[in-house]
Structure formats: C-alpha cells, structure tokens
C-alpha cells in the first residue's frame, strides 16, 4: 500500500549513511532496528553508490519500511525513485527543479526540499514541496556544509515566513547537528506563536550508533517530552509593575530563606568570594566548582547554575557547556553572565558556543556585553561598559535578545532593565558605590540566580534579584560605618543578610523602597 502523504508522522526522520554503519551490521538490520525504536520516516542517502546497487538497496529497504508503514524517500535521484517504487524524494536547492520532479513522479509522490532561508523557502513554496528539510541547524561532521548555519533563530524566522506566506501546510523537519541533548531546546526555541517544527532528521546519532533501536527510542523520547525549562505563561497580575509584583518579590526572598537552594557557581576568581558570601547572606547554599564532573550530581539538587566567563581558562568552555547541558536536562535554571563578551574572540566564541549548545534561562550582562551577544558594535573595553544609552534603548536591547533566545535578559546598570521579550521592567534601585567594588555585577548575577532557583517566572525572579540587591546597596551606603568601597562591600553583604532576616520575621517594610517601572 502506498503511503498517504497527508498522514505522515514526521517526528523522527532517519537519513541513512552507509559509511557510518558499525562493523557487524548492515543497512537493512540497522534501519529495521531504528524503525522499531521509533523512526517514522526513512531517507536512503547514497552519495557514492552506483545506480544499480542504489536501486537494489532502495527496493530491499522498501520491503522493510512497508512492513512498518513508514515512508521511504530517496535522496536526490528521481530515477531511483521510479525504478524502486519508493514513496518520494528529497532534493537540495541545487538539484532538479521541483516542478520537473513533480511532473516525473506524479501527484502522490512525497517531495521534500532543503531550506535554510526565506529565499529558499520561497523556492519550496513555489514548487509546492510536501515538506521542508530545515537546516543545517547546527554544525555537523556528517557533511561538509556549504551554506550558513540556520540556528534556532533562523529556523523560527523560516517557520514564521511559511506560516504567513505558504498558503498551505508545510511540515518542517530540522536537520544538522541534532542530538538527544539539544532536541527539546530546538523545539522550544524555534517555535513561533503557532508553528513548530514537525520533527527532526538525523544521520549520525542513529547511523553511527551500535544500538540503533536504543538511539531512536531515546531521540523519540526527547522529541515527545517538552523541555523542562519551558516557562509557564506569566500570571496576569505580574504583567505590569504593581502591588502583586512587589508582594511576589517579598515571597521570593522569603522562599529562599526557607528552601536554602543550592547555587552552583562556575565563576571568575575575582568575584568568587563576594558571590559566595552574598549567596550565604540571602539564604542560599553556594558551591563554587569549575569541575564539570560534579555538575550532574549538583544539578540533581534543586537550585540553579551560574556560568560566569570572567576569568575563563581555555578548558572552561567545555566544562561549562557540559554543566549547562546537564542543567538543561535536569530542568535546573541557568544564569549566564557573559563577562566581557565583546572584548576578545575567545569570549565571543565561548558565549556563542553556550547559546548554540544549551539554553540559558537568564542572561545578565552590562550594555556592552548584551550588544556583543546581539552582534552589535560593542562599546566595550575589558569587562567594563564604557557607554550607557537611555533606558529605552537598553530596554530594546534586552527585549530583542530575550525574544531571540526565548528567555529573560537583564541589562545591568544604574537602571537595571529586565525583559522576557513581552514584559520589560526597569529597576532603579542601587547606588553608584556599586561601581567601586569589583564583582558587584557578578554578585547581582548570584542574587538573581538564587531568586530563579525558587521562582518559576524567571522574569519576575530577575526583577526580584535586582530590587533586593539594589535596596541592599542603598541601605549599605547610608550606614555610618561605611566610609568607602571596602566598608561598603562588607555592609552590602550585611544588608542582604538583614533583608533576608526581616523577610523571615514577616517585616516587609524594606520592599517599600522598590523602584520598578515598565519600560
């Protein structure tokens, strides 16, 4: 029975590669096992095989795929589809024109095309492709890539274009560098309001596995399980600054005192001590460890992970990325502090690697760092921000990055701006004295990460962190015993401690000083 193309399940699309099959197996056993494990579509991709053998392989594979009612598509070759009776074809942008493919294969054939941009989507739509292979999403060793990476942001752009312009439903399967650990993030970060990718196409994660059944099963589980970090929609009362938001801030600080969350810091040597002391003062349990081998154990304990690249070593990005992936899998919230992101190529590459390889619930940086993440010219020297523009333009930076990353972004400064892309708040608490102690921005990261450990709504958690830290600074600077930056730093920790104590006693007067507005 030929396949009904309106009913295809695109969830897990296997693209074969004969050179990857481990010794002792063969393509037929491998594909059968992968289908049993959960593959829902198979594409036979033979780049070096002679036509006769290609057709023979296609015919034999078709017998297997038919047993499981799974479509078999052929890579690039119309003649092989015709000769084997396979269900359809996948072509690239530089292969045969889609209208010719359709004319040759007929209306029932399943015809897919590779798409990596709006321009290429237009070609697919004009040729009435049945589905798009969307990618390459990420880098891969499977094939020498000649086109730019699409990333989750590019995937979203194409999905949104299709949604608005195709005029018919086009399932999109993402391809390129997809592994167990990045599937949930791919689905989450690439979705538009109403359109998501329909599935993922995989070569190496299944073809190079010695256990294709298990590999497919595990990939399918990741596809079917929503990302643990998907935020719930914000409560309507927390859409704008107001009494509900202020009450929530006090609840967050009280919760920290009650729960004592563990905050795993992979952070810089300059700020470490202040960060640890601020964590203890607010009621968290800090662990300062750059050892990725501990990340799995630490992620199991409820808390948060803070990544700060201030004094990163050459090996730090690997350890941090490992910890990030473990935290993502465990659903542990992650705060990224991209210290000095625009200052050196190493820092740029490190941060780009984190954003491509994992999901950071919150990114906190000064204006120059956030500009660098957006690829804008950074007004940065070293790790200091040299330039501060208006709150409105900083709000624009925060919401643009938050929309791109589908997370919460804090642009720290005299006025901290917090945005999740929909809501943007300005927090005007704090004191200029914070600029005279090293690690004050990093320690704001600690306080925000601690709030995120106990609060689901990460945007509100970030606002809470900015408020409590800013008010602690305002109180500290007013103290008689504060004579300058040295005594201020100690007093800052003390005031965080005192605010936490007041919350514990039910005295919430401190929060009356909160200065939160909408941007």
Q: Which stretch binds ligand TZP (CB under 6 A): 170-178, 180-188, 422-430, 463-471?
A: 170-178
Q: What are phi and psi of 471, to 5 degrees?
A: -70, -40
What is the DSSP code (8-state) at residue 242? Answer: S
Contact status: 173 vs ligand LCLJCK34 (CB under 6 A): yes
| Binding span for ligand TZP by CB under 6 A among 137-145, 342-350, 422-430, 447-455 | 137-145
Nearer to ligand LCLJCK34, 109 or 201 (CB): 201
b/e map 161-171, b = 16+ CB within 10 Å: bbeeebeeebb
Residue 176 as a binder of ligand TZP (CB under 6 A): the answer is: yes
Least spacing, CB of residue 29 vs ligand LCLJCK34, in Å = 22
CA 513 to each of CA 10, 435, 468, 472: distance values in angstroms, whole numbers, following the listed order: 54, 20, 10, 10
Only one of the segments 159-167, 176-184, 237-245, 448-456 lies at the binding site for ligand TZP (rule: CB under 6 A); that segment is: 176-184
| Interface residue with ligand TZP, options 40, 142, 350, 450 (CB under 6 A) | 142
Which residue of 40, 152, 204, 218 would you call a contact of ligand TZP, by CB under 6 A?
204
Q: Check residue 151 for interaction with ligand TZP (CB under 6 A).
A: no
Where does this chain touch ligand LCLJCK34 (CB under 6 A) — which range of 25-33, 88-96, 256-264, 406-414? Answer: 88-96
- Sole binder of ligand TZP in the list 40, 140, 222, 267 (CB under 6 A): 140
Query: CB of residue 10 vs ligand LCLJCK34: minimum separation in angstroms?
Result: 9
**According to CB under 6 A, which one of 59, 143, 217, 379 is a site residue for ligand LCLJCK34?**
143
Beta pairing, strands 285-288 & 303-308:
unpaired
Tokens for 281, please give them: 């003062």
**Residue 114 touches ligand LCLJCK34, criterion: CB under 6 A:** yes
Whole-number Å distance between alpha carbons of 499 and 226: 37
Q: How far is CA 206 from the centre of its chain?
A: 23
274/283 Cα distance (integer angstroms): 14
Indicate which of ligand TZP, ligand LCLJCK34, none lies near residue 308 (CB less than 5 to 8 Å, by partner kind): none
Q: Which residues pair with 303 in a beta bridge?
A: 262
- Alpha-carbon span 403 to 409, nearest angstrom: 9
40 binds ligand TZP (CB under 6 A): no
Query: With CB cut-offs between 5 and 8 Å by kind, which of ligand LCLJCK34, ligand TZP, none does residue 76 bind?
Result: ligand LCLJCK34
Catalytic residue among 172, 442, 466, 503: 442
- Give the one residue of 175, 200, 476, 493 binding ligand LCLJCK34; rule: CB under 6 A: 175
Please tell me the count of residues contacting ligand LCLJCK34 according to CB under 6 A: 18
Q: How far is CA 442 from CA 13, 102, 113, 286, in A?
A: 43, 58, 46, 14
Cα–Cα distance, 519 to 517 (Å, whole number): 6
- Classify residue 338 by burial, with Cβ atoms within 10 Å: 0-12, 13-18, 19+: buried
Distance of CA 270 to the CA centre of its chain: 28
Choose, by CB under 6 A, the member of 201, 207, 327, 426 that binds ligand LCLJCK34: 201
Is 278 in contact with 443 (CB distance < 8 Å)? Answer: yes
How many other C-beta atoms are found inside a 10 Å radius of the C-beta of residue 403?
Answer: 16
Tokens for 152?
Answer: 């989750």
Query: Can you tell me which of 42, 203, 341, 426 binds ligand TZP, judged by CB under 6 A?
Result: 203
Least distance in Å: CB of 72 to ligand TZP?
A: 16
User: Is residue 90 involved in binding ligand LCLJCK34 (CB under 6 A)?
Assistant: yes
> Residue 272 and residue 129: Cα distance in Å, rounded?
55
Stretch in the footprint of ligand LCLJCK34 (CB under 6 A) among 86-94, 232-240, 389-397, 424-432 = 86-94
Min dist. Cβ of residue 28 to ligand LCLJCK34 (A): 20
The single residue among 5, 59, 143, 479 that binds ligand TZP, judged by CB under 6 A, is 143
- Token pair of 329 as six digits: 């899998």
Q: How far apart are the first and last CA of the chain?
A: 59
- Angle, CA 204 vertex, CA 201 and CA 209 arms, to 5°: 120
- Report d(CA 109, CA 107) in Å as an integer: 6
User: Known catalytic residue: 442?
Assistant: yes
Cβ contact 188:361 at 8 Å:
no
- Which residues lie near ligand LCLJCK34 (CB under 6 A)? 13, 15, 43, 45, 75-76, 90-92, 95, 112, 114, 133, 135, 143, 173, 175, 201
- Which residues lie near ligand TZP (CB under 6 A)? 15, 135-136, 140, 142-143, 175-178, 202-205
Catalytic residues: 442
């Amino acid at each position: 029975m030929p396949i009904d193309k309106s009913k295809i399940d695109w969830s897990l699309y296997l693209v074969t590669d004969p050179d990857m099959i481990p010794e002792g197996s063969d393509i037929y056993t491998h594909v059968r096992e992968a289908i049993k494990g959960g593959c829902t579509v198979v594409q036979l991709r033979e780049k070096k095989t002679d036509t006769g053998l290609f057709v023979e392989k296609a015919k034999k594979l078709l017998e297997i795929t038919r047993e499981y009612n799974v479509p078999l598509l052929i890579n690039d070759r119309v003649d092989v589809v015709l000769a084997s009776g396979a269900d359809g074809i996948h072509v690239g942008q530089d292969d045969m024109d889609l209208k010719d493919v359709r004319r040759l294969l007929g209306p029932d054939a399943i015809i897919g095309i590779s798409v990596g941009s709006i321009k290429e989507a237009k070609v697919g739509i004009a040729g009435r492709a049945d589905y798009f292979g969307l990618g390459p999403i990420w880098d891969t060793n499977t094939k020498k890539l000649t086109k730019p990476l699409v990333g989750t942001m590019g995937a979203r752009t194409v999905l949104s274009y299709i949604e608005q312009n195709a005029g018919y439903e086009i399932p999109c399967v993402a391809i390129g560098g997809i592994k167990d650990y990045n599937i949930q993030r791919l689905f989450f970060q690439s979705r538009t309001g109403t359109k998501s990718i329909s599935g993922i196409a995989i070569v190496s994660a299944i073809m190079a596995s010695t256990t294709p059944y298990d590999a497919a099963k595990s990939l399918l589980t990741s596809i079917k399980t929503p990302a643990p970090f998907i935020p719930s929609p914000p409560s309507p009362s927390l859409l704008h600054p107001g009494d509900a938001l202020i009450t929530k801030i006090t609840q967050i600080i009280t919760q920290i005192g009650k729960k004592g969350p563990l905050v795993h810091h992979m952070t810089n040597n300059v700020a470490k001590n202040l960060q640890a002391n601020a964590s203890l003062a607010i009621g968290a349990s800090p662990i300062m460890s750059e050892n990725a081998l501990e990340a799995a154990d630490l992620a199991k304990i409820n808390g948060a992970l803070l990544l700060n690249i201030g004094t990163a070593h050459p090996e730090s990005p690997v350890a941090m990325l490992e910890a990030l992936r473990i935290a993502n899998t465990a659903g542990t919230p992650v705060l990224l502090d991209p210290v000095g992101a625009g200052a050196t190529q190493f820092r740029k590459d490190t941060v780009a690697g984190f954003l491509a390889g994992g999901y950071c619930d919150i990114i906190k940086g000064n204006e120059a760092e956030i500009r660098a993440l957006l690829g804008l010219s950074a007004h940065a020297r070293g790790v200091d921000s040299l330039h501060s523009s208006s709150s409105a333009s900083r709000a624009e930076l925060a919401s643009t990055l938050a929309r791109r990353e589908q997370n919460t972004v804090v642009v720290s400064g005299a006025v901290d701006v917090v945005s999740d892309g929909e809501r943007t708040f300005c927090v005007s608490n704090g004191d200029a004295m914070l600029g005279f102690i090293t690690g004050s921005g990093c320690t704001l990261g600690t306080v925000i990460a601690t709030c995120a450990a106990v609060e689901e709504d990460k945007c509100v958690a970030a606002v809470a962190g900015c408020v409590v830290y800013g008010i602690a600074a305002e109180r500290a600077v007013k103290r008689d015993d504060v004579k300058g930056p040295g005594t201020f730093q100690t007093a800052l920790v003390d005031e965080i401690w005192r605010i936490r104590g007041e919350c514990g006693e039910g005295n919430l007067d401190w929060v009356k000083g909160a200065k939160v507005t909408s941007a």
